[in-house]
């Protein structure tokens, strides 16, 4: 059965039945099938107008669950979103960016999901809807592990909500072993806000691919407050990365990841600080 | 079930397939639009790129139900409707941007989207646009050039006149159908009533197994017609590329020897087989402790993977000349090291595919293959019928690089179609292809090289073990070829090279562009640099000093006499070697406080064309048709490298006919003689020579009929050949001549087998009639903090004897270099892990720098017009040149490939300590 509802209400009602698989951009749905054919009911979310688009409000920005990476790239957004846009350009390929949704990237909950570090740094919240009602969960609590989220069966992610609580330049660095179509060995998103004296007023740093779920570096963020913009990179110390728990895999060793993450964090902060000069 | 309505290539259509079906499958199977290719079914390769409402997407990741009301455009429609696409197609042809053609439609669709918005893109824009499509043949550079140039109309190609084909930058003769997406590959065709076959494969490296209730399984699955196992094989349940070593069963018996080995197959109606969940297939596995390393396989108490192969050693190779110990004692300086490489996946974008049908008491197999006649003979043995009862119809090959020399789907579909008397098709998935197809041999090498103080090489002692996996495949070839090449393209008076191919319970390692010589060269060329450094000599001058001369013996005692262009290759690099080293030094000085370091490295190579001391004849047949056109039975399978074009160029000039009057016939084993395998860089040389001989023979026959001398000019026109000699002109009216059984008025057939001699117990003899030579200069930039390496420049000098088609040769060099780059920096296949194209990385469009070429033409007297092979030669020096450049940049030597960022960073940190 292939369900292609036109309204959110129909969608959540359809999803109340057990065993319904959700399809949006298809870029994780189909690879996960491998050689199998889709079995059971499939609920396609791409024909629901309520899920589309990116809304820019004074208090928050709302990324509809069906919005693709290409829409993120093409929508004018505040510079704190430059990291998210940079991540969008690094997702797979243009073909993938055209179909894959930001929300799907979060729901798939890969430790190497490109969207997670920039959205963690943006303090994003996830909006979920089911026949039982709506709820919001901070992204940091939404993904609980490798391929695990708190999304209950019957729930649809309807949007990603980003409060406009930081204003400043941002950056994203992805380290991979080739130029295009690459899964990261490590990646970092950073956002900096300057205070009236031109020093760091607020810093947000998140690292992906170095733990089951991407992590914010809270201690580093605190230590950066008050730092001069020219010294942000130098402020990074190994202890700031203690919250990471990298593993050895095909793409690199744990030791390398920790080492590279520190380099990337420093470079990402310097790149973000460089944004104040522009 | 409701139909999905959408606009397909400008027309309104209704798809009847299930709405959750992948758009690729619907386009290909329901609408017959096979220009959209399936390479991975996971969005990793982009071969299925189509435009959806004008934007490029992977059709394999799109459900057809999702395109309801939308606009879908494929290569077929764009080629008709879009002026931009048509210009791109012409530009691809003119630049040689399509080789095998499997990625070409995806590239063209992606590039169309770019060019519609940006008519004159920059190189960066072109790379960004095609970055989502992988290509394994071209190294991307000609694709990028074709995209950048497509904004301006491509000049019409001037076809060379008689006698001017050899040496011309001619477009591929089979290129048009590749850029139009109409070339037929293994998965692109099947009879309408075709059944589908899927293999049941071992999930363990080694396991005993027992079948349960197969009858019950059949009964429970309507639409499944048969389960096949080893018991169903009517002939011999054994095949292999080298008959004396043949050891691979169609279906394993009692014990599976590697993960991915087939133990059974299910055959049935397509829909039933596609929907089948193989998890409940009645087979009971008992996992056994596998031998996964060469050390484990060599241990005294290791079980034998094949009885009769003690210590699990498949074969040994040996070349001994002079007295190596005495030579090393004479040396003033000896360097020694160990090196290691892993499995490397061929990663052609076309997974293995084909179908078979029984026609009376014959079986026909249409398949993507590099070795049609050999596969004919092996299928005959498996079915217990005569080779004449088997017909192989090769499709276009979407990349082979050696792995499609071994059989893949062939035995399964042939057996099933034979027994069921219905056509049967098999298409491997990407994971299946990566699990079950052969790989490049992992190597463990130890080498000692000695030189005297004045910089002369005196002795080489080389030993290597190659992990050949569970079956022999091309293990013996690798073990034999490597010792012959151990000296490199240098004169070395004392040489001892020994090798072993060792069985393990891993995927069979087979042929991959270079048969072990790329691994060997990675070791030897790094040691050459070390020697030069320790001697205080320039690395290039050291190599020039030792470069093999035509009058010096090789390590097998062969004196080449002519066609020995290694010195010219090195010398051609001299100006750039100095210039770029100086530029790198300056960059590093200016950026001393930064983290980037540049370096320049060199490597030389040589490679014997054709089989090692074994017969490998090719037979070419040509026929003059009554209409004045020439039929060329082109049996040298074109796997993208260009033999369809090159062989025709050689024939044209040998015959003295314009290339435009040649019609190509395929390598169908019923109509075209055996041209051997497309391997060992032998087709231009061996089959090309056969074509030259056949052309000259046909020419002689025409001249004889016209009673004219050798210098006469021929012109081929409708129904006649005009023979002009001085003022004399004689017309041969073809319709008045009798037709032979094949419908030709005149024909010729010629066989060429390169003159070689057997190797004695010390490996002495003439193993090859012709060697290709080459040298690469690589320029890299290393990020010291991240351990990443970027190849920023490459100069490739190759002695090709005679450049029959320089454009195609450049394509071979760029593609070979891209594979060398992959080998150096990112590629390693670990059986059981990463059986897909996002974990196993091959270079993407953004990883390849511009390549500069130097073509040296030191003619091989025995080759056609002096030509030698280039296919494998192109790849061999790239990885060692990159490793030497990394050393130059970062001061560290990696003894293990690939130089992944984590390995390189660890070495840089260790150096700092």
CA A9 to chain centre: 26
CA distance B209 to B252: 9
CA distance A91 to A116: 12
Claim to verify: residue B767 and residue B743 sit in the same structural domain? no
Query: What is the DSSP code (8-state) at residue B628?
Result: S
Q: What confidence category does residue B158 fall into, taking pLDDT thresholds of 50, 70 and 90?
A: confident
Task: Give a yes or no: residue B230 inside a domain.
Answer: yes
CATH number at residue B242: 3.30.365.10
State yes or no: pLDDT of A239 exceeds 80. Answer: yes
Interface test with chain A among B20, B46, B130, by most A beta carbons within 10 Å: B20
Which pLDDT tens digit goes with each residue over A50-65?
A: 999 999 999 999 999 9
Of the candidates A26, A116, A132, the one whose C-alpha atom is nearest the C-alpha of residue B65 is A26
Determine contact, residues A137/A150, Cβ cutoff 8 Å: yes
Claim to verify: residue B736 and residue B841 sit in the same structural domain? no
Which pLDDT tens digit goes with each residue over B186-235?
A: 999 999 999 999 999 999 999 999 999 999 999 999 999 999 999 999 99
Average pLDDT, chain A: 97
Write down the pLDDT at residue B159.
Answer: 84
- Concatenating the DSSP letter of every residue in B278-308 gives -TT-SEEEEE-----SHHHHHSTTPPPSSTT
Claim to verify: residue B740 and residue B806 sit in the same structural domain? no
Residue A95 CA: distances (Å) to CA of A235, B453, B749, B842, B844 = 39, 58, 50, 18, 15
Instruction: Give the count of beta carbons closer than 10 Å to the beta carbon of residue A175.
Output: 25
CA distance B157 to B177: 17
Q: Do B846 and A179 touch (CB under 8 A)?
A: yes
Chain B residue numbers touching A42 (CB-CB < 8 A): 19-20, 63, 65
Q: Please tell me the distance in Å from B773's CA to the nearest CA on chain A.
A: 30
Determine contact, residues B840/B347, Cβ cutoff 8 Å: yes
Interface test with chain B among A38, A44, A180, by most B beta carbons within 10 Å: A180
Instruction: Give the count of beta carbons closer than 10 Å to the beta carbon of residue B110.
Output: 28
For B902, the closest of A25, A96, A252 (CB atoms) is: A252
Which pLDDT tens digit goes with each residue over B673-699?
A: 999 999 999 999 999 999 999 999 999
Task: Give a yes or no: residue B543 inside a domain.
Answer: no
Determine contact, residues B631/B625, Cβ cutoff 8 Å: yes
Assigned token pair, A135: 């709820």
CATH of domain A48-163: 3.30.465.10
State yes or no: pLDDT of A93 exceeds 90. Answer: yes
Mean of the pLDDT values across residues A166-176? 98
Is residue A252 within 8 angstroms of chain B, CB to CB? yes
Q: Do B55 and A185 touch (CB under 8 A)?
A: no
Assigned token pair, B393: 């119809």
Domain end, chosen from B382, B411, B436, is at: B436
The CA R_g of chain B, rounded to the nearest whole Å, is 27
Ranges assigned E (strand) in B53-110: 55-58, 71-73
Claim to verify: residue B736 and residue B773 sit in the same structural domain? no
Q: Please tell me the distance in Å from B241's CA to the nearest CA on chain A.
A: 29
Residues of each domain in chain A carrying CATH 3.30.465.10: 48-163
Is residue A177 within 8 angstroms of chain B, CB to CB? yes
Claim to verify: residue B643 and residue B741 sit in the same structural domain? yes
Of the candidates B562, B614, B572, the one whose C-alpha atom is nearest the C-alpha of residue B771 is B562
Q: Do A178 and B62 touch (CB under 8 A)?
A: no
Collect contacts of B527-534 with beta carbons under 8 A, ≥24 apart: B527/B335, B527/B336, B527/B337, B527/B447, B527/B449, B528/B449, B528/B488, B528/B603, B528/B604, B529/B601, B529/B602, B529/B884, B529/B887, B530/B335, B530/B337, B530/B893, B531/B333, B531/B335, B531/B449, B531/B451, B531/B457, B532/B455, B534/B333, B534/B335
CA distance A60 to A63: 10
Interface test with chain B among A4, A47, A70, A94, by most B beta carbons within 10 Å: A94
Q: Do A30 and B60 touch (CB under 8 A)?
A: yes
Write down the pLDDT at residue A277.
Answer: 83
Claim to verify: residue B779 and residue B848 sit in the same structural domain? yes
For B905, the closest of A23, A27, A256 (CB atoms) is: A256
CA distance B733 to B726: 20
Assigned token pair, B798: 């190759």
Ranges assigned E (strand) in B130-256: 195-201, 207-211, 224-228, 255-256
Q: What's the CATH fold of domain A170-277?
A: Enolase-like; domain 1 (3.30.390)
State yes or no: pLDDT of A108 exceeds 60. Answer: yes
Mean of the pLDDT values across residues B249-253? 98
Is residue A41 within 8 angstroms of chain B, CB to CB? no
- Choose between B161 and B298: higher pLDDT: B298
Q: Do B129 and A94 touch (CB under 8 A)?
A: yes
Identify the burial level of B115 via C-beta atoms within 10 angstroms of its C-beta, where 0-12 means exposed, 13-18 middle and 19 or more buried. Answer: buried
State yes or no: pLDDT of B735 exceeds 70. Answer: yes
Average pLDDT, chain B: 97
Of the candidates B389, B388, B384, B381, the one whose C-alpha atom is nearest the C-alpha of residue B358 is B389
Q: Do B834 and A250 touch (CB under 8 A)?
A: yes
Of the candidates B243, B267, B269, B278, the one whose C-alpha atom is nearest the C-alpha of residue B418 is B267
Claim to verify: residue B22 and residue B54 sit in the same structural domain? yes
CA distance B689 to A21: 60
- Concatenating the DSSP letter of every residue in chain A gives -EE--SSHHHHHHHHTSTTPEEESS-TTHHHHHTTSPP-S-EEE-TT-GGG-SEEE-SSEEEEETT-BHHHHHHS---GGGHHHHHHHHHSS-HHHHHH-BHHHHHHHT-TT-TTHHHHHHTT-EEEEEETTEEEEEEHHHHEEETTEESPPTT-EEEEEEEE----S-EEEEEE-SSSSS---SEEEEEEEEE-TTSBEEEEEEEEESSSSS-EE-HHHHHHHTT-BGGGTTTT--GGGGTT-----BTTB-HHHHHHHHHHHHHHHHHHHHHGGG-
Claim to verify: residue B76 and residue B30 sit in the same structural domain? yes
Write down the pLDDT at residue B447.
Answer: 98
Claim to verify: residue B219 and residue B140 sit in the same structural domain? no
Task: Give a yes or no: residue B475 inside a domain.
Answer: no
pTM exceeds 0.80 = yes
Assigned token pair, B245: 């070593």
Claim to verify: residue B246 and residue B151 sit in the same structural domain? no
Write down the pLDDT at residue B763.
Answer: 98
For A256, the closest of B63, B841, B902 (CB atoms) is: B902
CA distance B58 to A238: 41
The residues that bridge with B321 in the sheet, in sequence order, are: B495
The CA R_g of chain A, rounded to the nearest whole Å, is 19
Domain end, chosen from B402, B436, B470, is at: B436
Assigned token pair, B691: 């074509």
Q: What confidence category does residue B405 fall into, taking pLDDT thresholds of 50, 70 and 90?
A: very high
Is residue A238 within 8 angstroms of chain B, CB to CB? no
Task: Give a yes or no: residue B317 inside a domain.
Answer: no
- Report how many Cβ contacts below 8 Å link chain A to chain B: 161
Ranges assigned E (strand) in B720-816: 720-725, 728-733, 744-752, 771-783, 788-799
Q: What confidence category does residue B594 fall into, taking pLDDT thresholds of 50, 70 and 90?
A: very high
Write down the pLDDT at residue B155.
Answer: 81
Claim to verify: residue B76 and residue B126 sit in the same structural domain? yes
The residues that bridge with B286 in the sheet, in sequence order, are: B208
Mean of the pLDDT values across residues B837-861? 97
Task: Give a yes or no: residue B170 inside a domain.
Answer: no
Claim to verify: residue B640 and residue B596 sit in the same structural domain? no
Q: In a 3-state reduction of DSSP, which class is residue B342? A: coil
Of chain B, the percentage scoring pLDDT greater than 90 comes to 98
Mean of the pLDDT values across residues B382-392? 98
State yes or no: pLDDT of B173 exceeds 70. Answer: yes
The residues that bridge with B717 in the sheet, in sequence order, are: B720
Chain A residue numbers touching B834 (CB-CB < 8 A): 250
Q: Where are the alpha helices (DSSP H) in B793-900?
A: 806-825, 878-890
CA distance B314 to B503: 7
Query: What is the DSSP code (8-state) at residue B678?
Result: S
Length of chain B: 913
Chain B residue numbers touching A93 (CB-CB < 8 A): 43, 46, 131-133
Q: How many CA atoms lie within 13 A of B124 on its CB side?
A: 0
The residues that bridge with B731 in the sheet, in sequence order, are: B722
Assigned token pair, A115: 């969207």
The residues that bridge with B829 in the sheet, in sequence order, are: B343
CA distance B337 to B447: 6
Interior angle at CA B876, CA B871 and CA B879, nearest 5: 135
CATH number at residue B102: 3.10.20.30
Write down the pLDDT at residue B2.
Answer: 76
Write down the pLDDT at residue B157.
Answer: 84
Q: Do B132 and A185 touch (CB under 8 A)?
A: no
In terms of residue numbers, what domain contains B255?
A: 195-290+347-436
Task: Give a yes or no: residue B689 inside a domain.
Answer: yes
Assigned token pair, B331: 């040396």
Q: Please tell me the distance in Å from A252's CA to the nearest CA on chain B.
A: 6
Contacts of B293 (CB under 8 A, 6+ apart): B467, B504
Write down the pLDDT at residue A39.
Answer: 81
Domain end, chosen from B436, B469, B501, is at: B436
CA distance B256 to B263: 7
| Cα distance from N-terminal residue to C-terminal residue, chain B | 69
Task: Give a yes or no: residue B598 inside a domain.
Answer: yes
Q: What confidence category does residue B1 fall into, taking pLDDT thresholds of 50, 70 and 90?
A: low
Q: Do A250 and B833 touch (CB under 8 A)?
A: yes
Total domains, chain B: 4
Q: Please tell me the distance in Å from B214's CA to the nearest CA on chain A.
A: 21
Interior angle at CA B631, CA B629 and CA B636, nearest 5: 145
Length of chain A: 278
Collect contacts of A231-237 with beta carbons under 8 A, ≥24 apart: A232/A192, A232/A200, A232/A203, A232/A266, A232/A269, A232/A270, A232/A272, A232/A273, A233/A266, A233/A267, A233/A269, A233/A270, A233/A273, A234/A266, A235/A269, A236/A262, A236/A265, A236/A266, A236/A269
Write down the pLDDT at residue B593.
Answer: 97
Chain A residue numbers touching B63 (CB-CB < 8 A): 2, 23, 26, 38, 42, 44
Phi, psi of A187 (to 5 degrees): -150, 155
Residue at token pair 């009964």: B219
Chain B residue numbers touching A257 (CB-CB < 8 A): 902
Which pLDDT tens digit goes with each residue over B467-493?
A: 999 999 999 999 999 999 999 999 999
Chain A residue numbers touching B279 (CB-CB < 8 A): none
Which pLDDT tens digit goes with each residue over B750-779?
A: 999 999 999 999 999 999 999 999 999 999
CA B43 to chain centre: 23
Assigned token pair, A275: 């944004």
Chain A residue numbers touching B826 (CB-CB < 8 A): 177-178
Q: Which residues of A100-128 are buried (b: 16+ CB within 10 A; e: fewer)?
A: bbbbbbbbbbbbbbbbbbbbbbbbbbbbb
Of chain B, the percentage scoring pLDDT greater than 70 comes to 100
Task: Give a yes or no: residue B525 inside a domain.
Answer: yes
Which pLDDT tens digit goes with each residue over B351-361?
A: 999 999 999 99
């Amino acid at each position: 059965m292939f369900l292609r509802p036109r309204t959110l209400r129909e969608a959540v009602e359809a999803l109340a039945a057990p065993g319904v698989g959700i399809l949006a951009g298809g870029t994780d749905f189909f690879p996960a099938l491998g050689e199998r054919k889709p079995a059971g009911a499939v609920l396609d979310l791409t024909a629901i107008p309520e899920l589309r688009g990116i809304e820019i409000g004074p208090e928050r920005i709302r990324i509809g669950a069906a919005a693709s990476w290409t829409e993120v790239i093409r929508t004018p957004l505040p510079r704190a979103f430059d990291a998210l846009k940079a991540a969008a350009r690094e997702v797979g390929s243009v073909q993938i960016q055209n179909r894959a949704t930001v929300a799907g990237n979060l729901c798939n909950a890969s430790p190497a999901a490109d969207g997670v570090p920039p959205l963690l740094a943006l303090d994003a919240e996830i909006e979920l809807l089911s026949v039982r009602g709506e709820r919001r969960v901070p992204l940091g609590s939404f993904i609980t592990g490798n391929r695990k989220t708190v999304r209950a069966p019957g729930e649809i992610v309807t949007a990603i909500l980003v409060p406009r609580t930081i204003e400043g330049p941002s950056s994203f660095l992805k380290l991979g072993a080739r130029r295009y179509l690459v899964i990261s060995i490590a990646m970092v998103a950073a956002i900096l806000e300057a205070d009236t004296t031109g020093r760091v007023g607020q810093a947000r740093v998140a690292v992906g691919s170095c733990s089951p779920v991407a992590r914010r570096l809270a201690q580093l963020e605190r230590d950066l407050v008050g730092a001069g913009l020219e010294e942000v990179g130098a402020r990074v110390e190994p202890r700031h990365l203690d919250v990471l728990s990298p593993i050895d895999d095909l793409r690199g060793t744990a030791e390398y990841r920790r080492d590279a993450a520190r380099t990337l964090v420093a470079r990402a902060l310097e790149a973000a600080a460089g944004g104040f000069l522009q | 079930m409701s139909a999905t309505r959408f606009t397909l290539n400008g027309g309104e259509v209704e798809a009847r397939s299930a709405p959750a079906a992948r758009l690729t499958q619907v386009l290909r199977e329901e609408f017959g639009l096979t220009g959209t290719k399936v390479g991975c079914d996971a969005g990793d390769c982009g071969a299925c790129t189509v435009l959806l409402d004008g934007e490029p997407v992977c059709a394999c990741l799109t459900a057809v139900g999702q395109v309801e009301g939308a606009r879908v455009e494929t290569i077929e429609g764009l080629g008709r409707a879009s002026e931009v696409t048509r210009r791109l197609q012409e530009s691809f042809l003119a630049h040689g941007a399509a080789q095998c053609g499997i990625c070409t439609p995806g590239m063209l669709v992606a590039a169309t989207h770019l060019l519609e918005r940006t008519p004159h893109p920059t190189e960066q824009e072109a790379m960004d646009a095609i970055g989502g499509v992988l290509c394994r043949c071209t190294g991307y550079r000609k694709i990028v050039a074709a995209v950048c140039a497509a904004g301006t109309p491509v000049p019409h190609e001037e076809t060379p006149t008689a006698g001017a084909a050899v040496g011309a930058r001619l477009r591929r003769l089979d290129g048009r159908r590749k850029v139009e997406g109409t070339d037929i590959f293994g998965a692109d065709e099947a009879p309408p009533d075709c059944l589908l076959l899927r293999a049941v494969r071992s999930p363990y490296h080694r396991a005993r197994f027992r079948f349960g209730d197969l009858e019950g399984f059949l009964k429970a699955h309507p639409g499944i017609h048969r389960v096949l196992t080893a018991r169903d094989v009517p002939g011999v349940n054994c095949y292999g590329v080298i008959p004396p070593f043949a050891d691979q069963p169609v279906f394993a018996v009692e014990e599976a020897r590697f993960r991915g080995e087939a133990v059974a197959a299910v055959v049935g109606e397509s829909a039933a087989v596609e929907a089948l969940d193989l998890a409940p297939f009645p087979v009971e596995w008992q996992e056994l402790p596998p031998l996964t390393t060469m050390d484990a396989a060599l241990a005294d108490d290791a079980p034998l993977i094949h009885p009769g192969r003690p210590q699990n050693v498949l074969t040994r190779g040996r070349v001994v000349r002079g007295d190596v110990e005495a030579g090393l004692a004479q040396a003033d300086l000896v360097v020694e090291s160990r090196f290691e490489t892993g499995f490397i996946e061929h990663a052609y974008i076309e997974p293995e595919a084909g179908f078979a049908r029984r026609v009376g008491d014959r079986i026909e197999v249409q398949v993507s293959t590099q070795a049609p006649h050999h596969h004919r003979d092996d299928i005959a043995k498996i079915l217990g019928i005569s080779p004449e009862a088997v017909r192989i119809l090769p499709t276009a090959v979407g990349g082979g690089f050696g792995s499609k020399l071994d059989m893949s789907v062939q035995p399964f579909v042939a057996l099933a179609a034979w027994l069921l008397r219905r056509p049967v098709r098999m298409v491997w998935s990407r994971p299946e292809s990566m699990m079950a197809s052969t790989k490049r041999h992992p190597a463990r090498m130890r080498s000692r090289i000695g030189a005297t103080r004045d910089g002369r090489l005196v002795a080489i002692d080389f030993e290597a073990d190659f992990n050949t996996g569970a079956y022999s495949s091309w293990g013996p070839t690798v073990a034999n070829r490597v010792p012959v090449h151990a000296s490199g393209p240098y004169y070395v008076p004392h040489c001892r090279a020994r090798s072993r191919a060792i069985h393990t319970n891993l995927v069979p390692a087979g042929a991959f562009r270079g048969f072990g010589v790329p691994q060997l060269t990675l070791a030897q060329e790094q040691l050459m640099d070390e020697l030069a450094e320790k001697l205080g000599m320039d690395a290039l001058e050291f190599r020039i000093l030792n470069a093999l001369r035509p009058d010096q013996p090789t390590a097998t005692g062969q004196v080449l006499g002519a066609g020995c262009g290694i010195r010219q290759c090195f010398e051609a690099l001299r100006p750039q070697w100095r210039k770029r080293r100086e530029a790198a030094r300056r960059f590093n000085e200016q950026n001393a406080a930064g983290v980037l370091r540049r370096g320049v490295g060199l490597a030389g190579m040589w490679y014997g064309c054709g089989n090692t001391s074994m017969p490998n004849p090719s037979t070419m047949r040509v026929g003059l048709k009554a209409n004045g056109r020439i039929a060329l039975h082109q049996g040298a399978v074109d796997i993208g490298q260009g033999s369809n074009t090159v062989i025709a160029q050689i024939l044209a000039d040998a015959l003295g006919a314009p290339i435009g009057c040649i019609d190509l016939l395929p390598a169908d084993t019923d109509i075209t003689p055996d041209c051997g395998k497309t391997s060992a860089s032998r087709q231009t040389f061996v089959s090309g020579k056969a074509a030259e001989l056949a052309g000259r023979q046909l020419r002689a026959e025409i001249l004889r009929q016209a009673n004219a001398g050798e210098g006469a000019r021929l012109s081929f026109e409708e129904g006649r050949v005009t023979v002009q000699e001085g003022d004399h002109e004689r017309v041969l009216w073809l319709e008045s001549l009798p037709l032979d059984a094949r419908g030709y008025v005149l024909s010729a057939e010629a066989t060429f087998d390169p003159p070689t001699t057997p190797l004695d117990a010390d490996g002495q003899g003439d193993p090859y009639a012709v060697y290709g030579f080459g040298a690469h200069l690589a320029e890299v930039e290393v990020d010291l903090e991240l351990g990443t390496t970027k190849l920023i420049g490459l100069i490739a000098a190759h002695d090709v004897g005679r450049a029959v088609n320089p454009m195609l040769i450049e394509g071979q060099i760029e593609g070979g270099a891209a594979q060398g780059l992959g080998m150096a920096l990112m590629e390693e296949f670990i059986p059981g892990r990463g059986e897909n194209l996002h974990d196993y990385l091959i270079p993407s469009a953004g990883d390849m720098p511009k390549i500069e070429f130097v073509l040296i033409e030191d003619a091989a007297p025995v080759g056609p017009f002096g030509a030698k092979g280039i296919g494998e030669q192109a790849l061999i020096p790239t990885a060692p040149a990159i490793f030497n450049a990394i050393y130059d940049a970062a001061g560290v030597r990696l003894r293990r490939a690939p130089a992944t960022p984590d390995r390189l960073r660890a070495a840089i940190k260790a150096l700092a300590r």
